[in-house]
Amino acid sequence: MKSYEVLNKIKEVGICAIVRGTSVDSLYRIADSLIAGGIKAIEVAFNTPGAAKMIEKLVEKYSDQVLVGAGTVLDAETARIAILSGASFILSPSLNLEMIKICQRYNVLPVPGISTPTEAVTAWENGAQIVKVFPAGVFGPNYIKQLKGPLSQIEMMAVGAVNLDNFKDFIKAGACSVGIGSELVNNKLVEEGKFDEIAKRAAAFVNAFKEVNGK
Question: pLDDT for 192-201, tens place per residue?
Answer: 999 999 999 9
Would you say residue 77 has pLDDT above 80? yes
Domain 3-210 belongs in CATH node 3.20.20.70: yes
Q: Where is average pLDDT lowest: 103-107, 127-131, 142-146, 210-214?
A: 210-214
**Domain locations in the chain as residue ranges:** 3-210
Give me the mean pLDDT over the 147-170 stretch: 97
Place 170 in a pLDDT band, splitting at 50, 70 and 90.
Answer: very high
Would you say residue 55 has pLDDT above 70? yes
Q: Which residues are catalytic?
A: 43, 132
Place 97 in a pLDDT band, splitting at 50, 70 and 90.
Answer: very high
The overall average pLDDT reported for the chain is: 96
Would you say residue 37 has pLDDT above 90? yes
**Tell me, what's the pLDDT at 215?**
62
Would you say residue 173 has pLDDT above 90? yes
Give me the mean pLDDT over the 19-36 stretch: 95
Would you say residue 123 has pLDDT above 80? yes
Q: Kindly calculate the radius of gyration of the chain based on its CA atoms and give it in whole angstroms.
A: 16
